[in-house]
Amino acid sequence: MSSTAPNVVPNIASGTARDTIIAIATAPGPGAVGIVRLSGPEAQALAGALFRSPHAGFSGLKPRRLHHGSLVDASGRVLDEALVAIMPGPGSFTGEDVAEFHCHGGPAVLRAVLEELLARGARLARPGEFTLRAFLGGKLDLTQAEAVAETIAAPTRAALHLAQLKLSGALSQRIADLRGALESLRARLCLAVDFPDEDVECLPLSALRQEALAVAAGVERLLAGVERGRAWREGVLAVLAGRVNAGKSSLLNALVGRRRALVSEVPGTTRDYLEEQLDLSGLLVRLVDTAGLRGPDGPQGAGLGGAEALDPVEAQGQDLSREFMGRAEAVLYVIDAAQPLHQVDRAALAGLAPGRSLVLLNKSDLLGGQAGRPDCCGATLDVARALGLECLRVSARTGEGLEELCARLRERLVEGSAEPDADEVAPNARQAAVLRQARAELIALADDALAGLPYDILGVRLEAACRLLAELTGEITPDGVLEGIFSKFCLGK
């Protein structure tokens, strides 16, 4: 945990030590339990003013204990039966006095308690203000504060692990190690600048260059986890594509376990795209069902439907389908296995990249015992295999092959986004941007040292790199950066 108070512009911290903030800390909507949280100098007094114990010998709220009783308003009317806890500072999350009311989780109950405390002088907290106070009070550094939001938003166990690793201070420690190496180098460089004629240990330019590049390599190792971490934290894109009526929407429904997409025998029911999330053993997959592709001869096959012009909306849907196919990490191309291979499918298969595509022979439950249909499937297999494409037989109706599909899809996706190591930290987008700036300064410093520039000019680059690393952990933080980070937090955290 950081013990250094951050150097911030005053207006974001104004009032934080003078007022008491309040927010509902649980998600909106009815629930078994709802929590109202207070932080600030009046938190304990406000908790005591509302709480009524049923015990005659009650002597006041004790720190870090749950007290059962009633919450009453200024007129003595009972608002709720609740549990109340107080956590005196500095041993609380924010570092201030904190009080929590664990109430029944109905919205009306929580609003009544909130409004009573507001009427008694508390102020409604801004998004992320509780965590901001923890940061300003030195309980967390900035990377840990950001990890609080990442923990709340984590969609899978793998993403949760990445967030918890940063919350524990792992990223902070690695940044501190890199910055320590730079500060040591900076002290020696300053010695060379300030006492050029004295009999002190000299810092050769070659050594300066070597050490700058060594720290740049350490920054690069941190950046290596960015893309991998993004895949596990934000998810990877997989697209269901194929001709109209191939069963893409039925497969989406079967995979997510509910009726998410409309399914109809009428071709072209899906005209836009639908997105759902799948958790494949810790890997978040953003599964997109796209509009079905049509050919120039209509939906029924070559020569059977006549020329058919697409309406503008469907044409846009097909353009969007092709765009998704182009940028997806995995394309699941769905073919009706019980029908002859259509020319649209032939053209689409020829354009698929084998390394990121799976061909799904859907409606495989219709093949058994029906003359001629296994030959249709066989022809499709021959074409796909000639193109180096892997095929799987599936049935959205019966569930056949879906477990194998999920396993193969995960394998394909993990091949491009290797699972993070147990101790690997994954910087987020803001942190990665600052790290790239620091790396650029260090590489430029190494180039300038190779060119023989004076020590005082080299010192400017070194100071810039040190400042950027300090910005990562919040020791030097522009007010706009803090506003941008904490405004994205939920209320009550």
Q: What is the pLDDT of residues 319-369, one digit of tens each?
A: 777 787 888 889 999 998 888 888 888 988 998 999 889 999 998 887 764
**pLDDT value at position 486?**
87
* φ and ψ of 241, to 5 deg: -130, 165
**pLDDT value at position 483?**
83
Q: What pLDDT, in 10s, does the model give residues 420-433?
A: 666 778 899 899 99
Instruction: Quickly name the fold that domain 10-140 has.
Output: Gyrase A; domain 2 (3.30.1360)
- Chain centroid to CA 187: 38
Which residues make beta-bridge pairs with 293?
A: 243
The token pair at 441 is 């300064």
Superfamily (CATH) of domain 238-416: P-loop containing nucleotide triphosphate hydrolases (3.40.50.300)
**pLDDT value at position 5?**
42
**pLDDT value at position 340?**
85
Instruction: Output 390 or 482, whichever has higher pLDDT.
Output: 390
pLDDT at 112 over 90: yes
The answer to whether the CB of 94 falls within 8 A of the CB of 133 is yes
CATH architecture assignment, domain 163-232+423-486? Up-down Bundle (1.20)
**Rounded percentage of the chain residues whose pLDDT exceeds 90:** 47
pLDDT-derived band at 275 (thresholds 50, 70, 90) equals: confident
280: helix, strand or coil:
strand
Domain boundaries, given as residue ranges, for the chain: 10-140, 163-232+423-486, 238-416
**pLDDT value at position 304?**
33
Q: Which helix (H) or strand (E) holds 238?
A: strand 236-242
**pLDDT value at position 451?**
93
Task: Average the pLDDT over each of 121-130, 202-211, 410-419 and give the range with the smallest value.
Answer: 410-419
- Chain centroid to CA 206: 41
Amino acid in the structure at residue 308: E
pLDDT at 176 over 70: yes
Q: What is the DSSP letter of 358?
A: E
**pLDDT value at position 141?**
94
Q: What is the DSSP letter of 488?
A: T
* DSSP result, 379-404: HHHHHHHHTT-EEEE--TTT-TTHHH
The answer to whether the CB of 231 falls within 8 A of the CB of 159 is no
Which residues make beta-bridge pairs with 331?
A: 239, 357
Taking CA atoms, 490 is separated from 27, 124, 487, in Å, by 9, 13, 8
**R_g over Cα of the chain:** 30
The answer to whether the CB of 133 falls within 8 A of the CB of 96 is yes
**pLDDT value at position 272?**
55
pLDDT-derived band at 126 (thresholds 50, 70, 90) equals: very high
**pLDDT value at position 412?**
84
Instruction: Output 53 or 265, whichever has higher pLDDT.
Output: 53
Q: Which helix (H) or strand (E) holds 214?
A: helix 205-234
**pLDDT value at position 426?**
87
- Average pLDDT estimate for 91-109: 96
pLDDT-derived band at 195 (thresholds 50, 70, 90) equals: low
Q: Which of 411-415, 437-441, 470-474 has the highest mean pLDDT?
A: 437-441
Q: What pLDDT, in 10s, does the model give residues 209-237?
A: 999 999 999 999 999 888 777 777 778 88
Instruction: Output 446 or 281, whichever has higher pLDDT.
Output: 446
pLDDT at 417 over 60: no
**pLDDT value at position 385?**
86
**CA atoms within 13 Å, Cβ hemisphere of 364:** 21
pTM tops 0.95, yes or no: no
**pLDDT value at position 299?**
40
**pLDDT value at position 446?**
95
pLDDT at 415 over 80: no
End-to-end CA distance of the chain: 18
Strands (E) across 40-135 are located at 51-52, 67-72, 78-87, 98-104, 123-124
Average pLDDT, the chain: 83
**pLDDT value at position 194?**
61
